[in-house]
Structure 1
Amino acid sequence: MSTGLRERAAAELARTRQRSVGLTDAVDDDDLVRQHSRLMSPLVWDLAHVGNQEELWLVRDVGGREPVRADIDQLYDAFKHPRGERPALPLLSPAQARAYVREVREKVLDLLDTVELEGRPLVEQGFAFGMIIQHEQQHDETMLATHQLRVGEPVLVAEPPPRSRAIVAGEALIPGGPFEMGTSLEPWALDNERPAHPVDVPPFFLDRAPVTNAMYQAFIDAGGYGDPRWWSADGWAHRQEAGLSGPAHWHGDGTYTRFGRREPIVGDEPVVHVDWYEASAYAAWAGRRLPTEAEWEKAARFDPATGRSRRFPWGDDDPTPEHANLGQRHLSPAPAGAYPAGASPAGVHQLMGDVWEWTSSPLYGYPGFRAFPYREYSEVFFGDDYRVLRGGSFGTDAAACRGTFRNWDYPIRRQIFSGFRCARDPRPGELAD
């Protein structure tokens, strides 16, 4: 691992921890140990869990060092304890959790300077460090979602997102043909993004921007939540059982609550906190459908001028604040057209950041998939129970977001920062010369 790569890993570890500290220091100890929703862990569990994963993989495995707290491994094993049960566990107190993650980080920074990082896949190109950085950033986004669910005075502050800089409406034609999906080259890509493989995608049309609040309000106003024609059987049953009448945190009077602040709904922002069933119902009402995962990735990565797949819609360069609404710089999606520099060659905007976008696809491994470094990261979730989301949200850090990055959740989940855009097949004769 070169000096530059070591410096990058150290800088990313520090930047990531600063975010974790900000999300946990923003509330008092009572808030840290409270479960704000049975869908979420107490914030103090997330904090100690990221430290425990860092200890397991970097201190013990990569560094070969003695355990810091082997006695707590079971408490912070996400597969042994569902979120609803975690508040009853004998968890580390806020002070103990903070001391623990500090001690682990000191050991990690010490070994980062000296550890041999050659000879096995876990350490090549700093993969283990990249994996831990991404893991902590994923939990930071989870903690941000917990903040959205907590009740009380607002504690998080951020600048508002930029205003729209371009009129973005209608749809873009994504040409048919093969493209390279996934990656075999991205050094910190996770196992479910690998390997790169060709996929032939027929031509389709895709919304140039995510569905906005105003567009979604039209679905509500048209009685979309009361008409089973637009819903799958499972979706309609869930809508009735859960009593859904609009996105989470909407009050039905033109306002919504975001991080403790009740505000007027902004019409041109992407709708957020809708589940897969709601997104699918809207698409059916609009005479459209959700894109497949392969369609989404082709729209986000394929460059028709060169025939190659880019890392991001705008090219291969890492995201900047001009490209996308990522990294919790803002506490909401940005209006459609706010990031013209981030558009794809086909003119599709805001594919990265703002809101995770539901696709129609279940989560499966790619051809040639190999679980690495452990099955529980993604393989145990393969199957029809989950739906894939792509592109990241305003709460997703750039370190944990790429054109190949795959997220997934149950179709009923909407505590995540989830939105969508619609696709459709060409009509007969529409593409004729």
Structure 2
Amino acid sequence: MSAEVTKEAVETVLDRARARSLLLTDCVDDTELIAQHSPLMSPLVWDLAHIGNQEELWLVRDVGGREPVRRDIDDMYDAFKHSRPTRPELPLLDPAESRQYIRTVRGKVLDVLADSNFDGKPLERSGFAFGMIAQHEQQHAESMLATHQLRSGPAALVATPAPAVRRKPLHDEVVVPAGPFVMGTDDEPWALDNERTAHQVYLGPYAIDRFPVTNGEFIEFIDDGGYSRPELWSRVGWRHRIDAKLTAPLFWERDGSTWWQRSFGTDKPVATRRPVVHVSYFEAEAYATWAGKRLPTEAEWEKAARWDPESGRSRRFPWGDDAPDETRANLGQRHLSPADAGAYPDGASAYGVQQLIGDVWEWTSSGFHPYPGFHAFPYREYSEVFFGGDYKMLRGGSFGTDSVACRGTFRNWDHPIRRQIFSGFRCARTLSGHV
């Protein structure tokens, strides 16, 4: 979003989010919608009604001051009261009821939008509440996409081909000199609380991979015994590898000398030039050790992505302040997979680092902590209750992330064992001296 938010822009992102939610739920039958395809995920029909319930709570009732549509279901669709494995046991709205519910809520939301002046209390300024809800729906759409990847049965989604690589990429490192940069934001109108406030961070010199680690590079790690060498793994990572019987990225199987990958109901040979996806933090960490490197910190990732040393300012996106488009980043589940390394040269950062936005969420070595000056807004449960613990930060978005929920400051986090998410990584290396 730009600094000036218009009602037309708000309606566009709301419509785009709803079209995607309907696409992900209309492409399967009711049996598939009410099934739980993995204990890690909600039934798709829960996600659908939950999206509507959050929209009702924040936009219809809070911003709009309107009467509730379905106050009786608030508890059932409260994500903090019911964990994912238990949600199928609830008396959920059925698919038809869920669709009718979200239609009714959206109609009232559009009335609230028409009456809003994007002013008044902080929740309403610059259309923040509308932006928050659009981001929330798109985050659940990405979760629903992950559910589609976990479900068995034939393919239900259709993808367009990813762009061809114009020239053979150089899989090298980019040196980022020592110095300060501005991390986080104060002026992104729809930035969430954990992205604030903007603050200066000083980093020593380091090198970071130009591209995320590819499938082909990860196969080299496997072939060199990466999953059977405890010295490459952290103590807790090795214990998890043993307990979970990890031998390859999730959804991979070897047939003779060929690796195959299950992707949204279709089995295909692993595409060696694409960034590896569906790896845990522990697998990424072990690979980095094997490669003689390490994972970047969250600050190192953001400096490589946003800092422009010539202008002395942090950009909204690696390429500048303009919103993402199809020439710069692989977002919005257009291709249903990462694109080949080198497919988006127009999305390079000021340092020349590529594919920092889209393709795969990138694990960093940092835990989840607040920035200086943080205050919870508009509720503690979005960020504050997750600070600390074993969470690791992921940055940059994936091919399944929508542009409204992806920017240079956006922060994602998950447990280091997670693999069902669209997660990959790139490596970094500490340099000595003041490069």
Instruction: Say which of 216, 220, 223 aligns to 1:221.
Output: 223
| Match of residue 89 from structure 1 | 90
The answer to whether the 8 A contact 1:168-1:349 is kept is no
| Match of residue 199 from structure 1 | 201
Instruction: Say which of 362, 365, 387 aligns to 1:357.
Output: 362
CA distance in 2: counterparts of 1:358 and 1:345, whole angstroms: 21
Instruction: Say which of 225, 230, 234 aligns to 1:232.
Output: 234
CA distance in 1: counterparts of 2:117 and 2:318, whole angstroms: 35
| Match of residue 422 from structure 1 | 427
What amino acid does structure 1 have at the position aligned with 2:120? G
CA distance in 2: counterparts of 1:121 and 1:61, whole angstroms: 12
CA distance in 1: counterparts of 2:18 and 2:89, whole angstroms: 26
What amino acid does structure 2 have at the position aligned with 1:180? V
Give the deviation of 1:160 after TM superposition. Answer: 1.7
Give the deviation of 1:4 after TM superposition. Answer: 6.3
| Match of residue 296 from structure 2 | 291
What amino acid does structure 1 have at the position aligned with 2:27? A
| Match of residue 50 from structure 1 | 51
Q: Secondary structure at the match of 1:389?
A: strand
User: Does residue 380 in structure 1 map to residue 385 in structure 2?
Assistant: yes
| Match of residue 112 from structure 1 | 113
Residue correspondence of structure 1 range 339-350 to structure 2 within 5 A: 339-350=344-355
What amino acid does structure 2 have at the position aligned with 1:46? D
CA distance in 1: counterparts of 2:291 and 2:211, whole angstroms: 15
Give the deviation of 1:80 after TM superposition. Answer: 0.3
What amino acid does structure 1 have at the position aligned with 2:236? D
Give the deviation of 1:116 after TM superposition. Answer: 4.4
1:92-118: CA deviation from partner (whole Å, max 9, x where unpaired):
000000000000000000111113432
| Match of residue 104 from structure 2 | 103
Percent identity of paired positions between Structure 1 and Structure 2: 65
User: Does residue 34 in structure 1 map to residue 18 in structure 2?
Assistant: no
Give the deviation of 1:3 after TM superposition. Answer: 10
CA distance in 2: counterparts of 1:4 and 1:61, whole angstroms: 20
What amino acid does structure 2 have at the position aligned with 1:216? F
The answer to whether the 8 A contact 1:181-1:297 is kept is yes
What amino acid does structure 1 have at the position aligned with 2:72? D
CA distance in 1: counterparts of 2:371 and 2:96, whole angstroms: 43
CA distance in 1: counterparts of 2:404 and 2:196, whole angstroms: 17
| Match of residue 150 from structure 1 | 151
The answer to whether the 8 A contact 1:170-1:207 is kept is yes
What amino acid does structure 1 have at the position aligned with 2:124? V
CA distance in 1: counterparts of 2:333 and 2:5, whole angstroms: 26
User: Does residue 327 in structure 1 map to residue 329 in structure 2?
Assistant: no
The answer to whether the 8 A contact 1:165-1:339 is kept is no
The answer to whether the 8 A contact 1:213-1:269 is kept is yes
What amino acid does structure 2 have at the position aligned with 1:339? Y
The answer to whether the 8 A contact 2:362-2:396 is kept is yes
1:39-77: CA deviation from partner (whole Å, max 9, x where unpaired):
000000000000000000000000000000000000100
| Match of residue 73 from structure 2 | 72
The answer to whether the 8 A contact 2:274-2:341 is kept is yes
Q: Secondary structure at the match of 1:399?
A: helix
CA distance in 2: counterparts of 1:4 and 1:217, whole angstroms: 46
Give the deviation of 1:15 after TM superposition. Answer: 1.1
1:255-282: CA deviation from partner (whole Å, max 9, x where unpaired):
1110000001100100000000000000
| Match of residue 131 from structure 2 | 130
CA distance in 1: counterparts of 2:342 and 2:99, whole angstroms: 41
From the superposition, tell whether residues 33 and 46 of structure 1 become closer, same or farther in structure 2 (CA, over 3 Å).
same
What amino acid does structure 2 have at the position aligned with 1:205? A
The answer to whether the 8 A contact 1:50-1:139 is kept is yes
| Match of residue 189 from structure 1 | 191
What amino acid does structure 2 have at the position aligned with 1:224? G
TM-score (norm 2): 0.97
User: Does residue 301 in structure 1 map to residue 302 in structure 2?
Assistant: no
Give the deviation of 1:165 after TM superposition. Answer: 2.2
User: Does residue 393 in structure 1 map to residue 398 in structure 2?
Assistant: yes
| Match of residue 410 from structure 1 | 415
From the superposition, tell whether residues 236 and 109 of structure 1 become closer, same or farther in structure 2 (CA, over 3 Å).
same
Instruction: Say which of 244, 260, 266 aligns to 1:242.
Output: 244
Structure 1 unpaired stretches of 5+: none
The answer to whether the 8 A contact 2:5-2:126 is kept is no
The answer to whether the 8 A contact 1:276-1:413 is kept is yes
The answer to whether the 8 A contact 2:339-2:359 is kept is yes
Q: Secondary structure at the match of 1:324?
A: coil
Q: How many pairs align?
A: 429
CA distance in 1: counterparts of 2:369 and 2:420, whole angstroms: 23
What amino acid does structure 1 have at the position aligned with 2:112? L
What amino acid does structure 2 have at the position aligned with 1:146? T
Give the deviation of 1:7 after TM superposition. Answer: 1.1
